[in-house]
Every structure is written in C-alpha cells, then in structure tokens.
Amino acid sequence: MAFPESFIQDLKMRNSITDVVSSYVSLKRRGRNMIGLCPFHGEKTPSFNIYTEDEHFYCFGCGAGGDVITFIMKIENLDYTDAVKFLAQRAGMDIPENSYDNSMSRLRTRVLEANREAARYYYKTLISPAGREGLDYFHSRMLSDRTIRHFGLGFADDDWSSLTNHLKSLGFSENELVSANLAVRRRSGNGVFDRFTNRVMFPIIDLRGNVIAFGGRIMTDQKPKYLNTSDTPVFKKSANLFSLNNAKNAGTRTLLLCEGYMDVIAVNQAGFANAVATLGTALTAEQATLIKRYADEVVICYDADEAGQKATARAIPILRGAGLLVRVLSIPNGKDPDEYIKSQGADGPEAFRAIIEKSGNDVDYRLQKLRADYNLQTSDGRVGYLEAASRLVAGISSAIEQDVYASKLCREFGLDKSAFMAQVEKHGKKLSREQYKKQQRKIQTDLSGRGDRLDPDRAKKPRSSSAEEALLAHLLSHPDSADYIKSRVQPEQFQNTLMRRYYSYFLQRTEQGLDPMTNVSADFTDDERNKIYKIISKYSGVASTKRALDEYINVIHEESERPDRGDISKMTPEQLNERLERIRKAKK
C-alpha cells in the first residue's frame, strides 16, 4: 500500500525542490526557473533545469527528470520508500505507520545489516589465529595495524560455510545473504555457501558510512586475483568508488584516482586521504560525475604498465567530459604508487607529494605519449609528430589552452605558429563537422523515436504520438480541463501504447479529485518517469489554448480513424465514405 496522498503532498511542500537540489548542485536563476550542471552525467554547459512553479527537474542532456523524491532516489541511490524516509527526516516529519509496502526497504536494511556484520566477522577473523595468513599479507605490504583498523580490512578463511553459518546464527535468512551477494546458492538449490573464501577483504563503504559491498584479493596465483560483490539492492559497481567516504573529507578539491584498493590504502597511510579507486571495472561516466561533486581536479595515479596506460587513455576523456581538470602522475621506474612510496623509505610521503606537484596535465601526458611513436631525429618523424599534435590541440575546447600548447610546440621545433594554427584550424573544423553530424543524428533519432525501446510506437506513428503527448501535457498543466478532454477522447483512441497508459492513469487520478503527479515517483519506472517529465518540460512555457487543445484532439480522432493500408483495400466505397464522415464530425 502506498503512502497517504496527503502525506506525500505535505512532504513535497516541506522539501522545496530548489532547496533540496541546491545542497547538491550549484544553481543559477534563468527566468522563472533554475539551471545548473547535471549531477547525473558529466557536462560543461548547464542543461539541468528546475521548474520552480510545478516543482520538478529535467535535464535536456541525459533525459533525467522527476520530482524531489525522484531526485533523492537518484542522487542518494535509494528506493522510493527510503527516499521518502530521507526527506521526511530532513523535514522533521513522522512517517505514517503501516501505510506503505516497505518490503524492498526492509530488504535493503537487512542487506546493509548483513554487510556490517560480515565486515565485523572478517576483521575478527583477520586478527584471530585463523587469519594469520591474511594479517601477514597486510603486514608484508607494510600496512600498520592502525591502517588495517581504519579501513576495516579483514580475512575470509577457507571454510566455505563459516560466514553463512555465523550470519544465520544472527537471524539472517539465506535469501537475505544471497541478496547481499555474501552467499551463493548451490546448484542443487539446497543451501548456500560463502561467496568469499581464502581472501583478504576490503569493505566498500558509502558516503553515509554503510558497508555496501566487498572486494576480496586472493593471496596465491589463482584467478581471479580480485573478486568483487556483484550489484545488489544497495550497491551498483559502476556508480561507487572505494574510499570516497574518506576522500570527501580530506579538505581538498583534488582527488587522486588510483587503480586498486592497495594503492588507495598505501597513499592514504602516507598522508593522502584524498585517494579513491574504481571497483574492479574501468572508470565510468557515472563515477566521473560522482567525482565532480567532490573535486575540481583529478590526478590519475594508475600503474605505469601497459594496462595502466590504456586505462589512463580511456579515463582522460571521461573525466574531461565531466568538467574536471585532469593531471597524470608519472612515477619513476614504472612503479605503482604503493611500490614507489615504499621504495623511498621514510621519505616516501614527501617523494610522492613531489611527483604529484610535478605531474603535468593530460595534454602534456598525451603529447609525451605521442613522442614515443615518432623518430624526432628525422624530418618525417617530426612532421608526423607535429601533425598528430595538431589534431590533439584541435580537440582542446579552450582557445587559451590551445594557444599555450601551440606556442610551446612551435618554439620547441622552430615552427611558424601561423602554419601550425592553420593545421589546428583544419582539424578543428573537421571535428566540429563530425560533432555537428553526431548531434544532428541524435536529434533526428530522438524526434523520430527510432531506437526508443520504451516508446517504439512513436517512430511508427509520429503524428498521433505528438498530438497525444501535447494532450497529456495540457491535461497535466490544466487538470480542470479533464472533463472536457474525457468527453472528446477515450483511451482506446490513443494509437501510442505508452501514451494511452499515461492518459488512463492521469485521467483516473483527476476524476478521483487527486493531484495527477503526486505518486509518479512511486508508480512508474525510472525510464517511464523520465519520459513523463520530458513531455512536461517540452511544453513548459508554451501557451496551451483551447484552440490548440482541440487541434490535438482532432489529430487523435483522425489518426484513430485512419485504417491500415490492408484495411482500406478491403473496404467498400460506402464503408470508406462512412469512415470519412465520422472523421469530419469529430472535427466539429
């Protein structure tokens, strides 16, 4: 059962979407609305809009939309019930008891509790005789007991049922342990066994201090070297970062992006609390967007081996796309951060700080990498390098930054700057054309609906779909027109299946005297909700007159009466005239 309507309406009134969003996003006023950089995808030009009059948001960049509850669901990675609880607590409101289905909320709570108990169990095992092997491993990596405690490191022994038996004794069910990915069901379906065995354990902690997942490293040559928690009700691998809970409080807007858990822990122990790492996957746009909330600059501290260099090349455009300044650490002798700090002995922390301060930005790094591909002792090699460098410089969005690197290269090679800039301009125009074509293809795809899995009917029936969307927007902005609209249009006349579903839902709510939008966050999936707010935002500020409304209705009538080609071929002249007459009458 849902929360009472009156409670949700009061909750939204006490949690102004502008106030809530502004605690996460820097907003500026634009007319009646507010605008800022979207927290859900990387961007440099603001496309995230707050519509203050009807209290909703919509991003024209990534298509995310919703009300204040939706925003908290997305930004805090909560389900609907927990987002409502979050906002109720913020507003000092009591949750109505026994008024909602909290089964998913209960499962999330139990998963978090199981993770917390598992972390405690792994740590106790580590410092017990059974964990000697794991503790010796951490000590061999020169981690202090204080660091081990700070990160809550642990050990999963080689007993395939020790953790599950322990958690069962605390009252956790097998389903809860499987949902937490702490246990795996046996193929027979009877019973479960531990997911992690004979590994040192790294708990992954979210920004609220909850243990949401684990990473486990095996101490032999077996594969996989690292085993990580799969996605669960409380954890999404591509949207979290290891040790961000520590880094966000480090007192700096610069983050060190490391390759793995041990690098993060090693640099943290050396005094750099602003280190984070991805969780067994390549850096994602979601993670870059998350980083942008807490940093303006990222220093990539990946390993100097081939895999690390490839990961660096992939990460640079993702981080830049999120609006972050990027620098790349160059560690002497190809060492990783952990190895380098240890190799310097007592001077490790200061030596590491020195190479961070000397690290060049990503353009310097990429130019340096290009040099390795050409023999600069030959004319052909210099020409090839400068040609490649001009393409790289052309991809820099800042004109000032372009000029700095062009001047630097021209001084180094004794090249006429105008000649180099002419080549940069040539490549820049080509990039602009490619970007323009890409944008136009996206616009055409969006307008046509091609590839829209949620709303495939839009591509098949664009005219009726457009009219139906406009009618829905009018209904939602003018719910007092519901009786008139219902008298003219029945749900079965909608040609678009998704629009028909929306129309039936909103019409029913208005007939019941309810606010049509109150429960959208609860009653629709994320994609369905985004579509609703896209439609609302599309027509926001557009004067919706009765004449325009009637035009939408006429189109819907025409399209609903339009037979398929196969049907027309089977019609008698009398049947065809009868259908045309119905269309003419519907227009009156």
Which pLDDT score is estimated for 561? 81
Shared domain for 330 and 353, answered yes or no, is: yes
Shared domain for 170 and 112, answered yes or no, is: yes
pLDDT tops 70 at residue 576: no
Which pLDDT score is estimated for 277? 96
Q: Which of 93-102, 155-164, 504-513 has the lowest mean pLDDT?
A: 93-102
Q: Work out the average pLDDT over 143-163.
A: 96
Q: Work out the average pLDDT over 470-498.
A: 94
Could you give the number of structural domains in the chain?
5
Shared domain for 108 and 214, answered yes or no, is: yes
Q: Work out the average pLDDT over 295-308.
A: 90
Shared domain for 144 and 57, answered yes or no, is: no
Give the mean pLDDT of the chain: 91
Confidence of residue 564 (pLDDT cuts 50, 70, 90): low
Shared domain for 125 and 22, answered yes or no, is: no
Triad 491, 496, 498: Cα angle to 5°: 85
List, in order, residues 6 or more apart from 215 with CB less than 8 Å away: 201, 202, 204, 226, 227, 228, 229, 242, 261, 279, 280
Question: Using CB atoms within 10 A of its CB, is residue 133 exposed (0-12), middle (13-18) or buried (19+)?
Answer: middle
DSSP state of 461: -
Q: Work out the average pLDDT over 40-62.
A: 92
In 154-249, the DSSP E strands lie at 154-156, 183-185, 192-194, 199-205, 211-218, 226-228
Q: Work out the average pLDDT over 358-379.
A: 92
**Boundary (domain end) residue, out of 203, 233, 263:** 233
Neighbours of 491 (CB within 10 A): 15
Which percentage of the chain shows pLDDT scores above 70?
93
Task: Classify residue 74: in a domain, yes or no.
Answer: yes
Q: pLDDT by residue (tens digit) across 315-326?
A: 999 999 888 999
Q: Work out the average pLDDT over 366-380.
A: 93
Which pLDDT score is estimated for 583? 57
CATH number, domain of 535, equals 1.10.860
Shared domain for 349 and 401, answered yes or no, is: no
Q: How far apart are the first and last CA of the chain?
A: 44
Which percentage of the chain shows pLDDT scores above 90?
75
Task: Classify residue 163: in a domain, yes or no.
Answer: yes
Q: Work out the average pLDDT over 141-147.
A: 96
Task: Classify residue 239: in a domain, yes or no.
Answer: no
Q: Does 567 or 194 have the greater pLDDT score? A: 194
Task: Classify residue 444: in a domain, yes or no.
Answer: no
Shared domain for 461 and 570, answered yes or no, is: yes
Shared domain for 141 and 262, answered yes or no, is: no
Task: Classify residue 206: in a domain, yes or no.
Answer: yes
CATH number, domain of 60, equals 3.90.580.10
- Domain of 269? 244-359
Task: Classify residue 426: in a domain, yes or no.
Answer: yes
Q: Does 306 or 465 have the greater pLDDT score? A: 465
Which pLDDT score is estimated for 79? 86
Q: Work out the average pLDDT over 282-304.
A: 92
Q: Work out the average pLDDT over 56-73.
A: 95
Confidence of residue 335 (pLDDT cuts 50, 70, 90): confident
Task: Classify residue 345: in a domain, yes or no.
Answer: yes
Which pLDDT score is estimated for 448? 59
Shared domain for 461 and 583, answered yes or no, is: yes
**Boundary (domain end) residue, out of 33, 56, 91:** 91
Neighbours of 460 (CB within 10 A): 11
CATH number, domain of 186, equals 3.90.980.10
Query: CA gyration radius for the chain?
Result: 29
Q: Work out the average pLDDT over 277-295.
A: 91
Which residues make beta-bridge pairs with 193? 184
SS3 content of the chain, % helix, strand, coil (to 5): 55, 10, 30
Which residues make beta-bridge pairs with 232? 235
How much is the pTM? Answer: 0.80
Shared domain for 294 and 331, answered yes or no, is: yes
Which pLDDT score is estimated for 586? 53
Q: Work out the average pLDDT over 5-19.
A: 95
**Boundary (domain end) residue, out of 330, 359, 388:** 359
Locate all alpha helices (DSSP H) within 449-564, ordered by sequence.
Answer: 457-460, 462-477, 482-488, 497-511, 520-523, 526-539, 546-561
Shared domain for 397 and 516, answered yes or no, is: no
Cβ–Cβ < 8 Å for 308, 318: no
Shared domain for 84 and 112, answered yes or no, is: no
Which pLDDT score is estimated for 1? 43
Half-sphere exposure of 400 (CA within 13 A, CB side): 0
pLDDT tops 60 at residue 570: no
Task: Classify residue 193: in a domain, yes or no.
Answer: yes
Which pLDDT score is estimated for 175? 96
pLDDT tops 80 at residue 42: yes
pLDDT tops 50 at residue 131: yes
CATH number, domain of 313, equals 3.40.1360.10
